[in-house]
């Protein structure tokens, strides 16, 4: 799989380091093969790529509320030709809508 990053965006570098260097989500430790993988906060799609590579027959659903991350998430999915249901929303236990602020507001 190919990972597309914006090296000027520190969040891209941090998430790439977490997955590729620190291996914080070692899917090889999972004792079963899931039918569905849900990524609640997909960011730019690094976990989505990892899950699709490890579980190629699983249905993948990716939630991402930040409109700045969505084009990157869609690019990862499209460029790697993987089937992912992308939902541009946050995951919560509450019903309704809430404003989303990707950066700290003054």
| Residue whose C-alpha is closest to residue 69's, from 87, 44, 45, 89 | 44
Q: Which helix (H) or strand (E) holds 84?
A: strand 84-87
Q: Which residues pair with 63 in a beta bridge?
A: 40, 87
Domain residue extents for the chain: 30-87
- Which fold would CATH assign to domain 30-87? Rossmann fold (3.40.50)
Residue 70 has pLDDT above 90, yes or no: yes
d(CA 40, CA 63): 5
| Element at 39 (helix H, strand E) | strand 36-40
pLDDT band at 103 (very low <50, low <70, confident <90, very high): low
**What is the reported pLDDT for 94?**
87
Per-residue pLDDT tens digits for 72-94: 999 999 999 999 999 999 998 88
* DSSP character at residue 37: E
- What dihedral angle (degrees, nearest 10) is formed by the CA atoms of 44, 48, 54, 60? -170
- Give the Cα separation of 106 and 38 in Å (integer): 33
Which DSSP state fits 44? T
What would the pLDDT profile of 26-38 be if each residue is shown by its tens digit?
A: 999 999 999 999 9
């Amino acid at each position: 799989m190919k990972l597309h990053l914006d090296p000027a965006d520190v969040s891209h570098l941090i998430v790439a380091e977490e997955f590729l260097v620190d291996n914080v989500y070692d899917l090889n430790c999972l004792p079963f093969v899931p039918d569905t993988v849900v990524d609640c906060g997909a960011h730019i799609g690094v976990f989505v790529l990892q899950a699709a590579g490890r579980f190629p027959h699983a249905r993948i659903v990716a939630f991402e509320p930040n409109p700045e991350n969505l084009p990157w998430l869609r690019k990862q999915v499209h460029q790697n030709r993987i089937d992912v249901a992308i939902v541009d929303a946050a995951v919560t236990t509450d019903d309704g809508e809430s404003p989303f602020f990707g950066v700290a507001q003054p």
